[in-house]
Amino acid sequence: MISSRKLLFILIGIIIVLLILNAITFFNFEYGTYFFKKFNFDKEKNIPSIFSSLLLLGASATLLYVSFKPLTFKISKIFWRSLSFIFLFLSFDELLRIHEKIGKFTGNYIKGEGIFHYAWLIPYGILLLVIMFIYAKSIFALPVKVRNNMIISGILFVGGAVGIEMITGLFIENNQLYTSEAIRSSKSIFLLYSIEETLEMLGVSYFIYTLLSCLESHKVTENY
């Protein structure tokens, strides 16, 4: 069975390859071309978005797997299984862009401005705070290394998905990029969403590594 460290290196390698292919679309910035559609980080249902969705699905499956394994520390199975459900939703969200549909609905009632230019950040931000509050006690009950690695992965993922998205929204408003064409043609926006997607993929990859290394270190064996 492949070790958690080797799997992490493989996932990072794939991310680097995808980032290089995305960078090629930066230097050959033709929005409607076949290559752009297949490898640009901002396009839907292409190779990078499918990979991101599979990463999240992999995290969901790993969380569920961990919940069935006896560990050397005590923590509720509900913790692992409820997190598994959240990552399952995020997997579908990544592929189907559910957050964008929620953003359009939210925008009908709340005008997103500044860092909340993308209105989906409002309901998702509230949910994120609620989830952090609910899971804080369980996360700090984890072994120190597992806890710290989980926090690092969360910072990477949320920093990309929420932090960079806020910066992007602010940039759009400050530079008055109010048409889809203006946004698509902006190289700065290209760099921002490239950083965003890269951080998200790295965060989920590191989270999977964290879960698997937790099993390697804390799974109860027959000789335990």
pLDDT tens per residue across span 144-156: 999 999 999 999 9
Question: Considering the domain boundaries, does residue 192 fall inside one?
Answer: yes
Question: Considering the domain boundaries, does residue 122 fall inside one?
Answer: yes
Question: Rounded to the nearest 5°, which phi and psi values hold at 219?
Answer: -75, 135
pLDDT at residue 8, rounded to an integer: 97
Number of domains in the chain: 1
Question: Rounded to the nearest 5°, which phi and psi values hold at 78?
Answer: -60, -35
Question: Considering the domain boundaries, does residue 224 fall inside one?
Answer: no
pTM for the whole structure: 0.93
3-class state of residue 71 by DSSP = strand
Pick from 163, 165, 134, 149: nearest CA to 213: 149
Q: Which residue range(s) make up the domain with 206? A: 4-218
How far from 193 is each of 42, 58, 153, 171, 209, CA to CA, in Å? Answer: 7, 23, 19, 12, 24
Question: Considering the domain boundaries, does residue 162 fall inside one?
Answer: yes
Question: Considering the domain boundaries, does residue 172 fall inside one?
Answer: yes
CA distance 70 to 90: 27
Question: Considering the domain boundaries, does residue 71 fall inside one?
Answer: yes
Pick from 111, 106, 140, 155: nearest CA to 126: 106
pLDDT < 50 positions in the chain = 223-224
pLDDT at residue 28, rounded to an integer: 67
3-class state of residue 219 by DSSP = strand
pLDDT at residue 197, rounded to an integer: 96
CA Rg, the chain, in Å?
19
Percent of the chain clearing pLDDT 70 (strictly above): 96
Question: Considering the domain boundaries, does residue 223 fall inside one?
Answer: no
CA distance 90 to 83: 11
Question: Considering the domain boundaries, does residue 100 fall inside one?
Answer: yes
CA distance 49 to 205: 14
